[in-house]
Amino acid sequence: MDLDAYLSRIGLADRPAPDLTGLAAVQRAHRRAIPFENLDIPLGRGISLDTDAVLAKLVTARRGGYCFEQNGLFLAALQALGFNARPLLARVWLFATDVPPKTHTLVLVTIEGVEWIADAGFGGSDVPPMRLRDGESSKSAGALHALSRDPEHGWMLLRSGERQYSFTEEPVYPADLAVANHWVATHPDSRFVQGRIVSIVGDDRLDTLSADGAEPAVYRAALAERFGIVLSESDVAALLA
C-alpha cells in the first residue's frame, strides 16, 4: 500500500491518527476526491481487486471505481495507518423486490474497543462513520442515517427512513469479495452491467453524470472537469454507442 500516494490523491497532507477523528477525516477526503464510477465494465475491461491494480487505477491514473475498489483501497489505507479494520459484505435494499444478494462491501473499524462502520464506496449517498449500536443515527448532506437491529439480516442501515443496506459482522475473506465482485461486474441483472454510472460527493450534494443522449465531446469534457476522469475519444464513443 503506497500510503503517501493515497493521501496525496485524497488531499491530506498529514497522516491522520488511528482514532475517530482520523477515520472521519480519511473517509470524508476520500469521498470528495475519488469519484464513484463503473465505466471499465461497459468498456469491457473488468474489475480487479488486486491492491496494486486498484492503486494504479484510482490513485495513479486518477480514475474512480465502485464499492469493491473504493472500500478495498480505503481499508488498505486504514490498516496502513494503524486502524483495526476489516471488510464486511452487505445486501443493498434500494429497489429490491426480494432479498437481494450481497453486492456491497463496507468496513468495520474497532477504536478503543468500540465498533464503527465506515463506507467510502456507496454510490448513492454519503454514509458517515457510525457507531455500531442499535438506534445510532447521524445526519449527512441533509439525510438522516440510522442503524437498527434486524431480526433476519443482522443490521439495517436506513437513510431518511428507507432501507439502504443490511449486513452482519461475520468474517469476510478475499474469496467472498472476489465472488461478489464478479457477480456485480458480470451478471446481466447487475445495475453496473446495465448502466454507465458516474458520481461524486460534495459537502451538501451528490453530483451525477448521465450518458443518456449525451454528445461525446460534452460528456468527455464533463468527465474531466467535474470528476477528474480523463478518457480517450474512442473510449467515450464506445461508452455512448
The single-letter DSSP state of residue 65 is B
Q: Dihedral angle at the C-alpha atoms of 101, 105, 110, 115, nearest 10 degrees?
A: -40
**Cell numbers standing for residue 223:** 468527465
Tell me whether residue 14 is exposed, middle or buried, using C-beta atoms within 10 angstroms of its C-beta: 0 to 12, 13 to 18, 19 or more. exposed
Q: Is 231 left (phi over 0), alpha (psi -120 to 50) or beta?
A: beta
Distance separating alpha carbons of residues 231 and 237, to the nearest angstrom: 10
Identify the sign of the CA torsion 151, 153, 155, 161.
Answer: negative
Mode of pairing for the β-strands spanning 114-118 and 102-111: antiparallel
Which sequence positions are flagged as catalytic? 67, 104, 119
Q: Is 224 helix (H, G, I), strand (E, B) or coil?
A: helix
Contact 185, 101 (CB under 8 A): no
